Structure 1
Amino acid sequence: MHIICTKAFHLHKILDATGICHTDAAGRDFATTPYPVALGHEGSGIVKEVGSSVTTVEPGDHVVLSFSYCGHCENCLTGHPANCIHLNDLNFGGHNFDGSHRIHGKNGKDISTFFGQSSFSTYSVVDEHGVTKVPKNVDISLLGPLGCGFQTGAGTVLNYLKPEFGSSIAIFGTGAVGLSAMMAAKIVGMDHIIAVDIHDNRLELAKKLGATETINSKKQNPEEVIKRLVSAGIEYSIDTTGVPTVIKQAVHVLKPSGTCALLGMAGDVTFNIQEEVMGESKKVVGVIEGDAIPQLFIPKLVNYYKKGLFPFDRLVKYYKFEDINQAFEDSADGSVIKPIVKING
């Protein structure tokens, strides 16, 4: 993939590969961004051109694309760009900061941009805020998912929850986001790292990547098992499924004052606030993109990977671009944790 970086702003990039995430499927099926839209939001590639005001990258740099943010609102300026006041508009509105469009059909009709990058493409024109420089000695085709899925899981643990050494966590759902969180929990040195899923093959992989205990929730009640493991309850839980009954379980297993981080796309969930949340000072929070500053956090994840501490390559399967529909199917049925589509080659 070729990348063109702009600042007021664009950067042009040749895209090499892009990960496939559930958010792409949501954009396809539920029109989270106005149609027609060019999807893709876990791109990686090489910078081809830069705008006159771009200072952070130059042609030839290897880069990962992440979410788009304004860089000047209060949340951005205080180090929380994933909470940018304009986040939804910039990532799902389909247009640039100024309301213009970067992509057009042969008939001249505007085509919406997705996550400010639309990485299912050979070339991508992106704002400088959405670009992170990465080392050239790591395979660039592997790194795209660091811009969203892997960043979300690992960042929720390392940036947001910041668990203490020896504390405990339960992670509900062992897809790309959940397993990334699990590897991060291992880096921290947590005592109990409990993986909960309905697929035995994923739970087996979870054991290899750091889970100290696994629970198949089709066969066992997670609340009962976790209560036996840690009688007082655990300090932290993460839900990646978005399933209401699972979210409630993730809250129930917490000790008083524990924190549950919600990462899955969910609808209505009903709680008795007194009995299930407030009465034990529990916290239920939504976390976007791991509360990460991509330009700082993605290089850290690459460094962890190089040291063997964050082996996210074990979650990946590559596909040719013409097999993108198969990649989506394999992601949906759970047979592949993180498909990566190679744009060039």
Structure 2
Amino acid sequence: MQTQAAVLNQPNGPFDIQTVEIADPLAGEIRVAVKAVGICHTDLVVASGAMGLQFPAVLGHEGAGIVDAVGAGVTSVKPGDKVLLTFNSCGQCKPCSHHEPAYCNHFVPYNMVGVRIDGSTRITRDGAAVSDNFFGQSSFAGYAISNERNVLKVDDDADLAVLAPLGCGIQTGAGAVLRSLAAKAGETLVVIGAGAVGLSAVMGGKIAGCATIIAIEPQEGRRALALELGATHAIDPNAGDVVAAVRGIVADGADMVVDTSGYMPVVALSVNMIANRGRIGLVGVPGSLDAVLPIPVVQWITIGGTVRGIIEGDSDPLVFLPELIAHHKAGRLPIEKFSKTYRLDQINEAIDDAHHGKCIKAVLLID
């Protein structure tokens, strides 16, 4: 089957809209007619080639669409079903068996290598292999091949353009607060960065009943949006001493800090923002793979601090995504307030707009 795809032919793009061939689904696979796909920061990190991606490649990992065909043995969905796509996992290792698929022992080969486990690709161009299988989908295309473990059936009336980003960015931010750090009602939360993931963390804090939610964000418009979505305070990190500003709001420090920025000069300050038994969650990807977070050991022992890395908000997607959809239906997760739609052939414009602060979450629509 031929379709149009945004093909990355070299590191850092641009993406080119080209005709490619999509294979029939094998056993356990599902071919989806993609209708919407969010653009995530991870797409752009991988597009740089820094993680070893081979070119040409098709990326995209916040897909949503309609099932077109299923391979042998698939029982969870059928052609015509509306579905969301998310990250893939093996389903057999210890973390997967403990309902922790975000920490699958085989996360990299199942999501990041650009081929199936057997080394084949689902996409070709003029008969030559194109790297795909990104997060088990590669949904910057009219069709994508996914797997039962990373496909969730949704209601027939679901708005796929709104819900597509749940598959990665939204579940990462909200899950960091609700699942990874297990926020409790009355606790205090600091969120560094108010992009799509950070705003989702803010909403997660509100859903959890956090008493104080502080957003740290340099862009004025994003600070205002954070306040609209549930933050009780917003701090401009360029306006002065960030730690003093946080301590001016919560004198004893925050129970939780979630970094979604990866901006290490501010992330490094988080160790002085937390209260006794406070916990820090690291979500944002730093600009350098060698980035480190210095921990003052004596201070850390004294206050009983915790710091941990977070992947995909510790989500078990087939359980957590329905919870997020329910929160959205109830008005507690209004992600459409920071989403902007573009056509697939506007992908480079959408990325440029995101880089220049003209949109927060870009979602590509595919006819």
Please give the TM-score of this superposition, normalised by the length of structure 1: 0.95
Partners of 1:39 and 1:109 lie apart in 2 by 14
Q: 2:344 aligns with which of 321, 331, 335?
A: 321
> What is the correspondence of 1:268-283 to structure 2 with a 5 Å cutoff?
268-275=291-298, 277-283=300-306
Structure 1 match to 2:15: none
Gap runs ≥5 in structure 2: 5-21
Q: SS state of the match for residue 198, structure 1?
A: coil
Please list the CA deviations of residues 246-275 of structure 1 after superposition, one character each: whole Å capped at 9, or x if unmatched. Answer: 111222100122110000112412414414
Q: SS state of the match for residue 269, structure 2?
A: helix
Is 2:105 aligned against 1:85?
yes
Deviation at 1:110, TM superposition (A): 4.3
Partners of 1:272 and 1:206 lie apart in 2 by 29
Partners of 1:197 and 1:171 lie apart in 2 by 9
Partners of 2:299 and 2:32 lie apart in 1 by 48
Residues 259 and 270 (structure 1 numbering): CA distance in 2 closer, same or farther, change over 3 Å? Answer: closer
Report if aligned partners of 2:267, 2:293 keep a CA contact under 8 Å in 1.
Answer: no
Q: SS state of the match for residue 76, structure 1?
A: helix
Residues 303 and 4 (structure 1 numbering): CA distance in 2 closer, same or farther, change over 3 Å? Answer: farther
Between 291-300 and 6-15, report the one with greater CA deviation: 6-15
Please give the TM-score of this superposition, normalised by the length of structure 2: 0.90
Deviation at 1:279, TM superposition (A): 3.9
Structure 2 match to 1:26: 45
Amino acid at match of 2:366: I
Please list the CA deviations of residues 205-245 of structure 1 after superposition, one character each: whole Å capped at 9, or x if unmatched. Answer: 11110000110111132210111211111110000111111
Partners of 2:129 and 2:156 lie apart in 1 by 37
Gap runs ≥5 in structure 1: none
Q: 1:131 aligns with which of 141, 148, 151?
A: 151
Structure 1 match to 2:55: 35
Is 2:180 aligned against 1:157?
no
Deviation at 1:7, TM superposition (A): 6.6
Is 2:76 aligned against 1:56?
yes
> What is the correspondence of 1:1-345 to structure 2 with a 5 Å cutoff?
8-32=27-51, 33-266=53-286, 267=288, 268-275=291-298, 277-344=300-367
> How many pairs were matched up?
344
Q: SS state of the match for residue 67, structure 1?
A: coil
Partners of 2:161 and 2:183 lie apart in 1 by 31
Partners of 1:72 and 1:9 lie apart in 2 by 15
Partners of 1:75 and 1:264 lie apart in 2 by 22
Please list the CA deviations of residues 23-76 of structure 1 after superposition, one character each: whole Å capped at 9, or x if unmatched. Answer: 111121234322221111110000011112111111111111100110110000
Q: SS state of the match for residue 223, structure 1?
A: helix
Report if aligned partners of 1:4, 1:48 keep a CA contact under 8 Å in 2.
Answer: no
Q: SS state of the match for residue 13, structure 1?
A: strand
Please list the CA deviations of residues 159-187 of structure 1 after superposition, one character each: whole Å capped at 9, or x if unmatched. Answer: 11111110000000000000001011101
Deviation at 1:339, TM superposition (A): 0.5
Report if aligned partners of 1:160, 1:291 keep a CA contact under 8 Å in 2.
Answer: yes
Report if aligned partners of 2:61, 2:138 keep a CA contact under 8 Å in 1.
Answer: yes
Please list the CA deviations of residues 90-128 of structure 1 after superposition, one character each: whole Å capped at 9, or x if unmatched. Answer: 111111122222112213334333111110000111111
Residues 63 and 148 (structure 1 numbering): CA distance in 2 closer, same or farther, change over 3 Å? Answer: same
Residues 7 and 278 (structure 1 numbering): CA distance in 2 closer, same or farther, change over 3 Å? Answer: farther
Identity among equivalent positions (%) equals: 38
